[in-house]
Amino acid sequence: MQQSLNERIGVQTDGMSDEQKTEWVLNYCRAMGQEIAELTDSVPWKWWAKYQKLDEQNARVEVVDLFHFLISLAQVLGMSADDIFAAYVKKNEVNFQRQDSGYTEKNED
């Protein structure tokens, strides 16, 4: 689904050179940074302003926008949904081990 959208806007991830991968990793990181800023603006973070309120609907939209760019980034790096799931499960196990050890031991990721 995301690959089709990317191809429609002219981003072909198959066969990218390392230079192109670098360019698109940076592009997607910048885009996600902007989406994070928009997500931040969806919550009342300005301690000096009393008129703010949580815009949960917009926050949800921004989270989905982040997923679009994160999926695109994974595709640039040649990661499938199965690759991402396996890496997530493995990293989650490491995170639990770190919590169990009180973060006193270095785990190999």
pLDDT tens across 55-80, in order?
A: 999 999 999 999 999 999 999 999 99
> What's the rounded Cα separation, in Å, for the pair 30 and 26?
6
Name the 3-class secondary structure at 29: helix
pTM given for the model: 0.83
User: Is 62:38 a contact under the CB 8 Å cutoff?
Assistant: yes
> Predicted confidence band at 42 (pLDDT cuts at 50, 70, 90)?
very high
